[in-house]
Amino acid sequence: MSHHEPLPDQAERDRFQNELERNFSVIAPAGVGKTTAIVERIGHIAETDDFREHPILPKLVLVTYTKKAAAEMRDRARQKIVGTGPNTAERLAGFNSAFFGTIHSFCLELLRRWGFHLGLSPELELVEDDKTLWLEFLRDEGDILTDLPPEVQKTLSKHVNLRALSDLARHAEAGLKHTVAELGPVPKVDISALLSYEAKRKNALKSITETQARLRSWVEVIKADEGWAGIPIIDKGGKEFVALGREVFSELRDWLGEAAAMAVEALANRYRQFRIERGQVRFDDMISLAQELLTIPAACNAIRAQGYRLILDEAQDTDPVQFDVLLSVAQSTVDTKQWKESFPEAGRFCMVGDPQQSIYADRADIHTYLRVDETLRQSKGGEAAEFTVTMRCDKAVVDWVNTATPAALNGSDRQVSFVPLHERPWAGDGDVSVIRLTPEMPPNPRKSTETIRDEAKTIAEWLSHASPSDFGATDWSKVALLCPRKSQLAALAEALEHFDIPVQNHSRNDTRGDDPAIAWVTALIVIFAEPDNVFEIAGVLREIFALSDESIAQYVRKHYHAGEQHPLNLGSKISDSGPVSKALKQLDETRKAALDLPLRSALHRTIEKLQLSERIQSLPNGNIEGLESLVAEATTQEEAGSSLSEWAIVLKMRFTSNAGEANPEPGKIQLLTCQKAKGLQWGTVILPFFFSKISPPRKSYPASYTLPNGRTQIAIDKEHLITDAEDSVKQRTIHSLERLLYVAMTRSQQRLIIIDDEAYFPKGSDSFAEHLRITDSGPNRKAWESLTTFIPEEQAIISEKAAEENKPIDLPPKEAPLNLSSIEFIKRTLPSSLANHDAGHYHDRNERDRLAEPDYPEVSRGGPGGADYGNWWHDAMEVLPWEQPMAEWKAFLNERLSICPFPERGQSEIDCFIESEIAQKLSQAEVVRTEIPIVWRANESTVYDGSIDLAAMTSKGKWLLVDWKTDRVGNDPAAELLASYGPQLAAYRDAVTGIFATPEAMLYSTRTGICAVLSE
């Protein structure tokens, strides 16, 4: 069948493309080609602009969800315009004035141009990671409860974790919704009914007796009127006793929740003002400030006078405030009416979205989208359009989605309604099948983590005997495994790696700086812009040239003279034949060459002269994809007129931001969460853990809720029930998971394989299976049972019609290396690889560096939980206020028990540490530093690259190294730890010895409080 045959929904597509003086709300389900439709509309705007006195194209604003999507849309629209007729130059001039980007970048543009109406500087700086700014705010502000009356402050301080409360304020959006007048007096608590309660059952007696003892102690703390009391958690002793406990403390919890909400919102408002005064804004500030700007008549009129024509992509992911901003901007009237009163005139606002793919319930509001959709349809000049032909899914996949999904997306209880799909006329047959798994042993319903691991192992073992051709694919990268939750994905990743199956895990929490290519180029551009930034220069010498800390320190000692230029400055006149001097000279030469070139050419020259491609490929799992993306980024910055110094600032700001999507690596199975898979597609999609419970994220307390009336309420602890909010959250979560299931199933182009693991999870409660209504009593059970068992492809490979290859940007051709022909790239090794785990059953610890997998600090080999506890201990020690008295240490650590995975163990080991000999030594140290990166050259071809947990300098000038170990140990802890970790600790000691005198090095066992000292 011809690919040029008209589509069943072609009339709808033509209306959206050609009727430019209409507002459209387009429903665009999975794979229907919405990007193509938007590009066609923009192309038609360009064609008809030739006949307009006032062209539309320069006023076009295309808003989409990600920078990547905006860049793709811009590129495709430019290509469309270039091929639309004789007036290409004029059309491109108008096109270059159009806006393509995210809602945040559009709001930032509005604030830079008209923010003076709010007293804002045009030089606003985006802060993606505000941790440092928050700490500065707290340091300046002091008391976080200063906005509240003294009695309220005192009561909150006694019962609520203020550190956790301040964290809520940091992430809260400003907008005070409470007043002090709403708070009555502190409720009195009468615990007599709890103290006199008698156990109805013998097995509850112990729990009740212990709880009553805790209650008496709590009363004594309250009477003493000093110290932190909290609120007793009563969760044992039988349902009646637990319910009585909730009732007794309910009024106090509600009062504290209201007071906490007031404190959070007041602090959030002050923090927002602090940011604005410094000219530093977060993403949420951009939106709220733009909304505020549009309430000022002069600013609103000036913005509307621009005549913007808006197209909103991914409209279902837009929140209420974002809609307010965009619809207000699209108005043509010179007043400040809101869109609910006066919708933008025809042709000024279009949106394209799919409510079935609204999966971000925590940051978007699907019901606001539906209200806007309804208002647009009913407005003058408003139209609805529906694209239903998917260019992605073959016939069998479409049939399954149309059969199974309506029961989930049924339009009831505020869920969206299903929009049926139609396959394209030339679609292949496709296939939907199941793989039915049977566990070797009956699963224990109380040990779901073990069951998930067992299923993961079974799937991995099955895949280890398969090949891409079994799935009709030419390469493993055309096959994707999509998991509902990260915990399931982690188990599957571990199992695949165990069976040596090449896998690309897209759902790691990597930042841009975790990619050596991006980290290295960022550092190089920064030192080219700041040639006296010796801190960054030292890092470049360590990371790129693999020079040891020892050699750098010796070079500085030899050439440093007070009052003179630092020896590590680029351009230094020091003449030295050593490796440090040679590397500095090469960096200086590369910098001088780069300064005279446009940004793209400067980056090409740097990659070439420093052999960055070769260096990166010599690393474990090294690939140059990051370099390719940076070449594209340099081109964009060059087109925007940025200087090298300005690009350096941008690179630094984005260093800790999320790494984003990575292109598929050939030969590797693709592993993602279902959320991460949105917008992507593969020839074959496999859905594991289908009957496994999808647990909601674990809550930490205090927790913030938005009530149905828009007010904020704080739940103080897990026993504080806010029924309206919790019911609403539960319903939104279920609906989001039902829509997520639709997203997951529609990622498949030709073949969808569902893992039938009902034998592993017989109940199937709160699972994809239950949400799809295929469990025993579900209306889709018969359709589920009718699916055939997967049979490996034995004939022709299914053609991958819909795949669009990502063409990498060409890197400079390899030429003869400059000044590096004699250098061999040095192998980097983690000191943790020296650990001997045959000596006992311990946890590995990987250093937190760019080469380490993200399992820092420990990977449990003895069951779940070990890694979480190890993380908690190491993180606590990293940020402990070592300069404070020991009493402050204990108070600080006790506060962190609220986030400890095993609080009882944590409390015991805190007490043990405070009483230990090493704690006494550290309390008297002149200097304490944590997580110190080290590079130590073991021989001509190997360097050890890692980080030391803690280093302290005693009053006598001697250094002390400590490595924390949370492992289980036997009868001789010191000997066992040294047998396992002695070589690793020796590497740390030798690295420091090269710079200072030989330090004392020891392993500290948190379980026993014993230090294992490394002998000299």
Q: Which is nearest to 594 in space by CA: 516, 517, 526?
A: 526
Residue 184, annotated as binding a ligand: no
Q: Is 1012 exposed, middle or buried (0-12, 13-18, 19+ CB in 10 A)?
A: buried
Query: Which tokens belong to 718?
Result: 């897990």
Alpha carbons 34 and 42: distance in angstroms, whole number: 12
Amino acid (1-letter code) at residue 17: Q
Residues in Cβ contact with 674 at an 8 Å cutoff, skipping those fewer than 6 apart: 482, 483, 484, 740, 741, 743, 744
Q: Is 303 exposed, middle or buried (0-12, 13-18, 19+ CB in 10 A)?
A: buried
Which residue type is seen at 756? D
Side-chain-side CA neighbours of 506 within 13 Å: the count stands at: 23
DSSP element (H, E) containing 933 = strand 927-937
- Per the listing, tokens 């209880």 go with 413
Rounded to whole angstroms, the Cα distance separating 992 from 953 reads: 12
Strand pairing partners for 102? 64
34 marked ligand binding residue: yes
Alpha carbon of 901 to those of 730, 869, 907, 911, 1009: distances in Å? 24, 6, 11, 17, 20
Q: How far is CA 559 from CA 562, 727, 967, 1005, in A?
A: 10, 68, 45, 42
From CA 964, how far away is CA 950, in angstroms rounded?
Answer: 8
Angle at 300 between CA 297 and CA 305, to 5 degrees: 120
**Residue 347 marked ligand-binding:** no
Indicate the SS3 state at residue 228: coil
Q: How far is CA 283 from the centre of its chain?
A: 15
Q: For residues 80 and 42, is the Cβ–Cβ distance under 8 A?
A: yes
The partner residues of 389 in beta bridges, in order of sequence, read 422
The SS3 of residue 482 is: strand
SS3 208: helix
* 31 annotated among ligand-binding-site residues: yes
Contact 445, 463 (CB under 8 A): no
State how far the Cα of 241 lies from the Cα of 446, in Å rounded to an integer: 24
**Nearest residue to 67 via CA among 100, 109, 34:** 100
**Is 921 annotated to bind ligand?**
no
Q: Measure the CA angle with vertex 148, ends 145 and 150; round to 5°.
A: 95
3 state DSSP class of 122: coil
Q: Establish whether 388 is an annotated binding residue.
A: no
In DSSP notation, 769-829 reads HHHTT-STT-TTHHHHHTSEEP----SSPPP-TT----PPPPPPPP-PPSS-TTPPPPEEE
- What is the torsion angle, in degrees rounded to the nearest 10, for the CA atoms of residue 129, residue 133, residue 135 and residue 137? -140
As beta bridge partners, residue 712 has: 706
The helix-helix angle for 162-171 and 239-277 (nearest 10°) equals 50
- Provide the 10 A C-beta neighbour count for residue 213: 11
Cα–Cα distance, 831 to 1003 (Å, whole number): 14
Residues contacting 174, CB < 8 A, separation 6+ = 265, 268, 269, 271, 272, 288
Q: Do 999 and 951 meet the contact criterion of CB atoms below 8 Å apart?
A: yes
d(CA 632, CA 638): 10
Q: Is 30 annotated as a binding residue?
A: yes
Which residues sit in the known binding site? 28-35
Which residues sit in the known binding site for ATP? 28-35
